[in-house]
Structure formats: C-alpha cells, structure tokens
Amino acid sequence: MPRKKNFIEEEVIEKAMYLFWRNGYETTSVRMLEKEMGINQFSMYSSFGSKEGVFIESIKCYKKKAQVALVDKLKNSSKGVLAIKQYFYDFVSFSKDLNQNKGCLLTNTINELGENTDTKIRNEIMKFALNVRNSFIEKLKTNSPDEQTIEKQVNYLMVSLQGLSVSSKMFEQSQLDDFIESVFERL
Amino acid sequence: MPRKKNFIEEEVIEKAMYLFWRNGYETTSVRMLEKEMGINQFSMYSSFGSKEGVFIESIKCYKKKAQVALVDKLKNSSKGVLAIKQYFYDFVSFSKDLNQNKGCLLTNTINELGENTDTKIRNEIMKFALNVRNSFIEKLKTNSPDEQTIEKQVNYLMVSLQGLSVSSKMFEQSQLDDFIESVFERL
DNA sequence: ATAATATCTAATCAATTGCTTAGTTATAGG
DNA sequence: CCTATAACTAAGCAATTGATTAGATATTAT
C-alpha cells in the first residue's frame, strides 16, 4: 500500500560519507547533507533518525570501502610484511582527493570529537582499528614468531599509520614516502 | 583619561587556549569563551576582533608554551639524538590532561580545518613545525653528517610526531611507549 | 477504481551561532 | 572636582543550527 522511496539508502549515504570525510562532522550541516544527498530533510530524518544517525551509517560505509580497498587486499597478499608496506601506500592514495588529502575518516573523527565522541561511534571506530591491527599481526607472524616482538611492532605500525593520516594533510608526498620507507626499514 | 581594562589579555587568552585545545575550534562557541575567559563578548571583540582573532592569539600562546616546555629544552640538551626522544616523551605529558590526552593543538587544528584553514593560522602552524624540524636537524647532525640521511630522518621524525599526537587520544600509554622506543631504536 | 499508508514538499520550530549596539561605569588628565 | 574617553553590562541582531510539522503525492492490495 505505501509509496516507495525514490532513493537508495546506500547511495545517498555514500554521498554523505564523502561530505563528512571532506569537512568533518561539525562543519557539515544538515542543509549541506540535504543538498549533497539529493534528498529532503524529512526523508533524511525518517530514514536515519538524526544527523548523528547519518554519520554512523557514513562511518559504516567508509569502513566497508576501506575493508575492500585496503584490508582485504592486505589479507589476500602473500608478500608478508611487504604487504603492510603496500597497505601504507594504498592508504595514502585511498584518502587522496584531487590534489588534497582527506586523511582517514575514522582518525579525523577521533581527532575532532576527542573523548566526547559518542560511544556508538567510538565503538565502530575501535572495532575497525582492531581489525586492521589483527591483520597486521598475521603478516608480522611471517617475520618473527616471538609474540612480544610482534606486539611491539604492531603498536609501532598502528601509531605510524595515524601519523600518515594527519601528515598527508600538511606534508608533501615525498616526505610521506620518506616516512613509509623509514618505517619499514626498521621492521 | 580612559578606563583601564580589568583583565590581562595574556591571562584570558591562556584560558581560551585551553578551551580550544580541549574542544577544537568549531565546537568552542563564543559563549563558552566568554564564560571560560571570564570577560564579556564586547571585551573579547574589542580586544581581539573576532572569534578567529581569539583563536590566533591562542595559537601563539600555545606555541610559546610548547617552545619553553619542549623546544628550548631540546635545544639546551647535550644528549644529541637522545634529546629528541626525550622531546617525544615530553610531548605526550605536555598534552596530557588528567586521564585524557588532548594531542597537539596545532595538529588538531590542521586536522580539523584541513585545507580550509585560514592562511594566517596555517602560517603560524607551519612556522612552528619548521622551527621544531630545524631543532631536530641540529640534533641529528651529531649522529650523521650526511645531509640526505638527515633529511630522510627528519621527515620520518616529523610524521612520527603527528602520529603520536593523534594516537595519544585513542591508544594506551604502553602502546605510545612501544612506539617511541621503536622509533629511536634504530636512529 | 478505491482505500490505506508511507514518502514526498516546503514551511516552520526553538535554540544557538558569531557579532553589534545602546547605554552605564570607571579612570585618568586638566 | 570635572570632563573626556575607553571599558564595561546586557540586550539584541540576522543568520544558521538540528529537528519537526502539516498537507500534497504516489503506490499497492483489494
């Protein structure tokens, strides 16, 4: 009996995600979302409940994309630790937008909202971080069997990755390349 | 003939700075600033012109504090590269607030405002980054005389420092320690 | 075709944003 | 002790924020 939605949720969320990615959470207004998603505020609120609801779905959308483009590729690689290095390079191009770099949406979010980050959002982010972390550990095992060494190495890699995310916004590509090369020289 | 200001600009700016540091630029409203600085909006605007004006002065205040607590200490140290490692540890405690970590105000700002960062603000930030960078280079010279090596090393250190800033918001102290130790193990 | 109902448009809500203005108060030089 | 002048208080500005409402429109089972 009812009328059909004349938009696909996955499609409009993807558009919202890119907007949040470029601008951050606070700077992105519901009017901007309206325009970018191509739907009315009513539709937005009836589908996703709130601005935060749209953001949470955007985070999930980002995670899916990063999973496919970065994590799955890493998992499927047979190059061991070198695959992690490739992950770092892939991450930089993944977050590149024209001649700008948007960093990682998840890192941006933590950095913007800090400890005030909503628990639901924080959980989504932490879950993905753990996911990446475990994938790194799998590859590190091919290098060294020592658990303590691996633990230290993966902590090192996770922080390095955050550094890459922020630095890509302010540093030259050559500096990022220097960094990545240095990171894996030490591994 | 005129009336005297009954507040000291440096004092209220310091309070504003801590507020911006904790909350970020956008999330900090003029009403919050009013309350925290203990002065009226009129006084704020007549002294600093705009919210952005208050922020720019806050950035300068932050830079002064970081200069004294971190950079000057680094410069005065005779421990060579080890002094840079100390800088990393000092930075973490410098940005710690109770059991929370606020990261670096400058890094936070770049990360929040991205390429839309006002030129004046961006210049202030970049000037300080260059300042830190040069201080690192001085210490690196005590290790190796090769200019290319130093260039690569300092790029590595700068990105690592950004990583530390963001990661301090989401990771445990032990993970940060692992990271710092790993960075300087082979420098 | 009709009735039921979810989705649409578009106007509007109170609250908050950065900023300004009108009017009062304090402090100095003459 | 005045008078000039800047700093104060507090009310208010238009614009924007996230969110809601009322009424028109479309779709499907009967």
CA of B16 to C1' of D18 (A): 26
Question: In B, residues 96-135, which contact A (CB 8 Å cutoff)?
Answer: 100, 102-103, 107-108, 110-112, 114-115, 126, 129
pLDDT at B146 over 70: yes
Q: Can you read off the two tokens belonging to residue A175?
A: 């500096």
- Whether residue A99 is predicted with pLDDT greater than 90 in this model: the reply is no
Pairing relation of β-strands B100-101 and B96-97?
Answer: antiparallel
In words, the CATH class of domain A9-185 is: mainly alpha
- Plot region of A9 (φ>0 → left; ψ -120 to 50 → alpha; else → beta): alpha
Of all residues in chain A, the one with the smallest CA distance to B150 is A178
Residue nearest to nucleotide D29 (CA to C1'): A1
Q: List the single protein residue with the shortest CA to C1' distance from C21.
A: B42
Which residues from A are below 8 Å from B179, CB to CB?
155-156, 159-160
Query: A110–B163: do the CB atoms touch at under 8 Å?
Result: no
| Selected residue with higher pLDDT from A2 and A132 | A132
Nucleic strand D under 7 Å from the C-beta of A51: yes
What is the per-residue pLDDT for A1? 64
B138 closest CA partner among B123, B150, B125: B150
In this predicted model, what pLDDT tens digit does every residue of B56-68 receive, in sequence order? 999 999 999 999 9
pLDDT tens digits along B59-92: 999 999 999 999 999 999 999 999 999 999 999 9
Q: CA of A172, closest CA in chain B: separation in Å?
A: 10
How wide is the angle at C-alpha A160 spanned by C-alphas B138 and A180, nearest 5°? 75
State whether the beta carbon of B6 lies below 7 angstroms from any atom of strand D. yes
- Cβ neighbours of A151 in B, within 8 Å: 178
Task: Give the tokens for residue B90.
Answer: 């000092």
- pLDDT tens across B117-136, in order? 888 999 999 999 999 999 99
Q: Which residues of A touch B103 (CB under 8 A)?
A: 111
Per-domain boundaries in chain A: 9-185
Q: Is the pTM of this model over 0.75?
A: yes
Instruction: Give the mean model confidence (pLDDT) for residues B171-178.
Output: 94
Distance (Å, rounded) from C-alpha B65 to C-alpha B77? Answer: 18
Burial level of B184, CB count in 10 A (0-12/13-18/19+)?
A: middle
